Amino acid sequence: MLDSIDMSLVDWSRGQFALTAMFHWIFVPLTLGLSFIVAFMHTIYVRTGDEEWKRITKFWMKLFGINFAIGVATGIILEFEFGTNWSNYSWFVGDIFGAPLAIEGILAFFLESTFIAVMFFGWNKVSKRFHLTASWLTAFGASLSAVWILVANAWMQHPVGTVFNPDMARNEMINFWDVIFSEVAVNKFLHTIGSSFLLASIFVIGVSAYFLLRKKEVLFAKRSTVIASVFGVMAAIGTIATGDTSARIVAREQPMKFAAMEALYEGQTHAPLVAIGAMRTDTTRFPHPREEFIFKIEIPNALSYMVFLTPSGFIPGISDLVYGNEEHNYMSYEERIERGAVAIQTLKELKKAKERGDQVSYEALREKFSDPIWIDQYYQHFGFGYYKGRELRELIPNVKVNFYSFHVMVILGGHFLIFTMLVLWLSLKNRWGNHKWLLWVAMITLPMPWIASQAGWVLAEMGRQPWVVYELMPNITAVTRLKPAAVQITFWIFLLTFTLLFIAEIRIMLSQIKKGPEGE
């Protein structure tokens, strides 16, 4: 079905996208969360006129600025990379994906970049009120910037509000509101924003703990901690709630991802949830390679209950999805490949009929693409058609990576909730800082939300492989046909550049933190 495709091109292109996206995502969540924390501190300063609050605001604002710059630097690549490395995908989805991107540019990016300048340079130049407004608009601009890219991602995970136009060979939007308010999009936005607020809160608590441990700037550190822990508790609750909804949506819309993240091969009712586990690869069993648990601790019935709110719900395993399960109505991948191939062949014939000028055949074929029954029976499996003659295992995501990412994220999420609640409680009693070991816990916890956040994205993106657009477009057709060497070169250039900038950012951050709010 597919002209020869060099898999190393696909791998390097994916690698480059993952590299640039993950670097970008080191900085973005801190920007999203810290902007609101700073705006809140700024508000307290303007309301009370207390100079200490001004120092606090300025200190965190400075860290925000350093982090923001590198977030911008790593972000521009992503916008253009859709075109440079995934050009076929860009065309296939451009009619849907482009609109959010343009809206993002017009509405959000300018808001953010205009008012961030006022926020930094406005202390003595504009009125207090306008200055404070600028801080809030920067924060809203930052979150608004995240809306549209997440809408686009949600659409790729769960395409809605569109139809396929065979003449143009692309998807076309028919309902804008379905695209932006799809359940996946809304939940993804809330989960991402919530987890970013949580990350920033833990950052502020951790940095403040450093000052408390050194018994320097105690008032500054305690006030910062109170604000951050209030934010943190709310964000932790929100993140866990939306995470739970997210799992349910995945179970329904992307059963393969769900099975992979629990390493569930054989479907069952009363499915248990693996709380923790470790696995090794077995290449002798089907579908191979197959991951076997070396050990695991399970919570009985929990998985079925999580999805269906009843233990008798059936959760399909990887085998049910690949080989089919008639009892529970899952079509086998072989069948889906056949049907997808029919859809692709129909598209080709339509193109040929058009070229020949054979209007009758063309009309008949065109009709199929607007017939809901035909769409349901054939077009729905379009992406599978490209796997005719290829190995079935290409359609199974990496189980190990998904399992570990999911569990690391969930376990850390639980830790963050307990941690932020404890900090808030002690802060309100003015006892935060009395126990040295707790301050150390805060310092050790500081980098953890980055691990959880990256793990979340790894799960979201690795779990849906090989699909770029879920079940419609696989990565092998989405990729730009370049020489793998070209992508390798840019991969290494970006790795080197971003690593250097990352080291610079960390060093500058550390030196600013050491300097503290003195002289602010």
Q: What is the DSSP string of 199-252?
A: HHHHHHHHHHHHHHHTT-SHHHHHHHHHHHHHHHHHHHHHHHHHHHHHHHHHHH
- Asked if residue 484 binds another protein (CB under 8 A), the reply is no
The strand pair at 467-469 and 473-474 is best described as: antiparallel
Exposure pattern of 411-449 as b/e (b: 16+ CB <10 Å)?
Answer: ebbebbbebbebbbebbeeeebbeeeebbebbbebbebb
Is the separation of the CB atoms in 261 and 403 below 8 Å?
yes
Nearer to another protein, 88 or 245 (CB): 88
- Asked if residue 426 binds another protein (CB under 8 A), the reply is no
- Asked if residue 495 binds another protein (CB under 8 A), the reply is no
- Ranges of beta strands (E only) in 25-99 are none
> Could you tell me how many residues of this chain bind another protein (CB under 8 A)?
84
| Interface pick for another protein out of 91, 140, 323, 374 (rule CB under 8 A) | 91
Q: Which stretch binds another protein (CB under 8 A): 103-111, 210-218, 276-284, 423-431?
A: 103-111
- The two tokens of residue 7 are 């898999």
- Asked if residue 126 binds another protein (CB under 8 A), the reply is yes
| Interface pick for another protein out of 428, 483, 492, 496 (rule CB under 8 A) | 483
- Asked if residue 297 binds another protein (CB under 8 A), the reply is no
Least separation, in Å, of the C-beta of 165 and another protein? 8
Least separation, in Å, of the C-beta of 206 and another protein? 19
* Lookup result for tokens 């495709």: 5
- Asked if residue 512 binds another protein (CB under 8 A), the reply is yes
Least separation, in Å, of the C-beta of 361 and another protein? 16
Write out the binding residues for another protein, residues 388-417 only, by CB under 8 A: none
Q: Which stretch binds another protein (CB under 8 A): 68-76, 195-203, 420-428, 446-454?
A: 68-76
- The two tokens of residue 45 are 């300063």
Q: Give the residue from 444, 452, 379 showing the smallest Cα distance to 414.
A: 452
Cα–Cα distance, 201 to 210 (Å, whole number): 14
- Asked if residue 68 binds another protein (CB under 8 A), the reply is yes
Cα–Cα distance, 249 to 254 (Å, whole number): 8
Least separation, in Å, of the C-beta of 253 and another protein? 24
- Asked if residue 475 binds another protein (CB under 8 A), the reply is no
Exposure pattern of 504-515 as b/e (b: 16+ CB <10 Å)?
Answer: ebeebbeeeeee
- Asked if residue 80 binds another protein (CB under 8 A), the reply is yes
Least separation, in Å, of the C-beta of 11 and another protein? 17
Q: Which stretch binds another protein (CB under 8 A): 162-170, 201-209, 257-265, 291-299?
A: 162-170
| Interface pick for another protein out of 60, 115, 136, 416 (rule CB under 8 A) | 115
Chain centre to alpha carbon of residue 151: 11
Rg of the chain's alpha carbons, rounded to an integer? 25
| Interface pick for another protein out of 15, 46, 52, 87 (rule CB under 8 A) | 87
